Structure 1
Amino acid sequence: MKTAEYFIKKLGLEKHPEGGFYKRIYQSDEVISKDKLPERYNSDRFYSTSIYYLLNGNDVSKFHRLKSDEIWHYYFGSPAIIHIIDDLGNYSLKKLGPNLEKSENFQVIIPKNSCFAAEVVEKNSFVIVGCTVSPGFDFEDFRLASKDELLKKYSEHVNLIKKFSD
Structure 2
Amino acid sequence: MPDYAYPEGNAALIRSLELEVHPEGGFFKQTHMMEEKVPSPFANGQERPLATQIYYLLAASSSNPKSHRGKLHMNASTTYHTLHQGRARYTLVRPTTDGSKPEIKHVVMGADSDKGETRQLVVEGGWWKASAVPEEDLKEGKEDKTGCLISEVVVPGFSFDDHKFLTKKGLVELFGGDESAAEVQQLLPYVQED
Please state if 1:104 is matched with 2:117. Answer: yes
For residues 112 and 2 of structure 1, what CA distance do their matches in structure 2 show? 32
Task: Provide structure 1 residue ranges, at least 5 long, that are not aligned to the other structure.
Answer: none
Task: Provide structure 2 residue ranges, at least 5 long, that are not aligned to the other structure.
Answer: 1-6, 97-101
Residues 120-163 of structure 1 show CA distances to partners (whole Å, capped at 9, x for unaligned) of: 12213111011111001011111111111111112542123212
For residues 152 and 185 of structure 2, what CA distance do their matches in structure 1 show? 26
SS at match of 1:161: helix
What does residue 63 of structure 1 align with? 72
Q: How does 1:1-166 map to 2 (within 5 A)?
A: 2-33=8-39, 37-38=40-41, 40-41=43-44, 43-57=46-60, 59-77=68-86, 79-88=87-96, 89-121=102-134, 122-123=137-138, 124=141, 125-154=146-175, 155=178, 156=181, 157-165=183-191, 166=193
Contact kept, 8 Å, 2:79 with 2:123, in 1: the verdict is yes
Residues 27-81 of structure 1 show CA distances to partners (whole Å, capped at 9, x for unaligned) of: 1121103xxx32534631111111000001262000000000111111012x111
Residue identity matched to 2:37: V
What TM-score, normalized to structure 2? Answer: 0.78
Residue identity matched to 1:159: Q
Q: What is the aligned-residue identity percentage?
A: 25
For residues 39 and 13 of structure 1, what CA distance do their matches in structure 2 show? 28
Runs of 4 or more above 6 Å deviation: none
Residue identity matched to 2:147: F
For residues 48 and 24 of structure 1, what CA distance do their matches in structure 2 show? 11
Q: Structure 1 residues 5 and 39, CA, compared in 2 at 3 Å: closer, same or farther?
A: closer
For residues 39 and 106 of structure 1, what CA distance do their matches in structure 2 show? 27
Query: CA RMSD of the aligned region, Å?
Result: 1.6
